[in-house]
Structure 1
Amino acid sequence: MSEETQLREQMCRLAKSMFERGLTGGSSGNISARLSDGRLLVSPTGSSFGSLDPARLSLFDADVRQIDGDKPTKEMPLHSAFYETRQAKTGAVVHLHSSHSVALSLIPEVDPENMLPPLTAYSIMRLGKVKLLPYFMPGDPAMGDAIRGLAGRRSAVVLANHGPVVAGKDLEAAVYAIEELEETAKLALLTRGANPAMLNAEQITAIVEKFDVDWD
Structure 2
Amino acid sequence: MSQEAQLREQICSLAKSLFDRGLTGGSTGNISARTEDGGLLVSPTGTSFGRLDPGRLSRFDNKGTLIGGDKPTKEMPLHSAFYDTRSTAGAVVHLHACHSVALSMMPDVDPDNFLPPLTPYAIMKLGKVKLLPFFLPGDAAMGEAVRGLAGKRSAVMLANHGPVVAAKDVEAACNAVEELEDTARLAMLTRGHSPRQLSESQIKALVTQFNIEWD
**What TM-score results when the alignment is normalised by the length of structure 1?**
0.99
Output the amino acid matched with 1:128.
G
Work out whether residues 4 and 36 of structure 2, in 8 Å CA contact, stay in contact via their aligned partners in 1: no
CA–CA distance in structure 2, aligned partners of residues 105 and 67 of structure 1 = 37
Deviation at 1:20, TM superposition (A): 0.2
**Aligned-partner residue type, residue 34 of structure 1:** R
The one-letter code matched in structure 2 to 1:213 is I
Could you tell me how far apart the structure 2 residues matched to 1:90 and 1:212 are? 17
Deviations 1:159-192 (A, max 9, x none): 0010000001111100000000000000001111
CA distance in 1, matches of 2:140, 2:7: 27
Is 2:108 the counterpart of 1:109?
yes
1:183-202 alignment, distance < 5 Å: 183-202=182-201
In structure 2, what is the Cα distance between the partners aligned to 1:110 and 1:207? Answer: 22
Q: Distance in 2 between matches of 1:5 and 1:36?
A: 11
2:56 is matched with which residue? 56
Gaps of 5+ in 2: none
**CA distance in 1: counterparts of 2:156 and 2:106, whole angstroms:** 16
Corresponding residue SS for 1:166: strand
CA distance in 1: counterparts of 2:54 and 2:118, whole angstroms: 37
Rounded to whole Å, the distance in 2 between the matches of 1:164 and 1:63 is 27
Whichever residue aligns with residue 76 of structure 2, its letter is M
- Alignment-derived partner of residue 153 in structure 1: 152
Name the SS for the 2:74 alignment partner. coil
Letter aligned with residue 70 of structure 2? D
Q: After TM superposition, what 4+ stretches of structure 1 lie above 4 angstroms from structure 2?
A: none
The aligned amino acid for 1:58 is S
Contact 2:37 2:62 in 1 (8 A): yes
The answer on whether the counterparts of 2:90 and 2:167 sit within 8 Å (CA) in structure 1 is yes
Other structure's SS at 1:206 match: helix
Residue of structure 2 in register with 1:76 after alignment:
76
Alignment of 1:39-188 (within 5 A): 39-87=39-87, 89-188=88-187
Structure 1 stretches of 5 or more lacking a match? Answer: none
DSSP 3-state at the match of 1:94: strand
* CA distance in structure 2 between the partners assigned to 1:102 and 1:213 by the alignment: 25
Output the amino acid matched with 1:185.
A
What SS does the corresponding residue of 2:121 show, helix, strand or coil? helix
Residue 96 of structure 1: how far off its partner (Å)? 0.2
Deviation at 1:57, TM superposition (A): 0.1
CA deviations on 1:35-73 (whole Å, 9 max, x unpaired) are 122110000000000000000000001121111100000
2:41 and 2:66 map into 1 onto residues whose CA distance is 10
Give the Cα–Cα distance (whole angstroms) in 1 for the partners of residues 207 and 149 of structure 2. 19
Question: In 1, Cα distance between the equivalents of 2:131 and 2:50?
Answer: 27
RMSD (Å) for aligned C-alpha atoms: 0.6
Q: Distance in 2 between matches of 1:107 and 1:137?
A: 19
2:207 maps to 1:203: no
Letter in 2 for 1:64: G
Counterpart CA distance in 2 for 1:167 and 1:102 is 18
Residues 56 and 70 in structure 2, CA contact (< 8 A), matched pair in contact too? yes
* TM superposition score normalised by structure 2: 0.99
Amino acid at match of 2:16: K
Partner of 1:7: 7
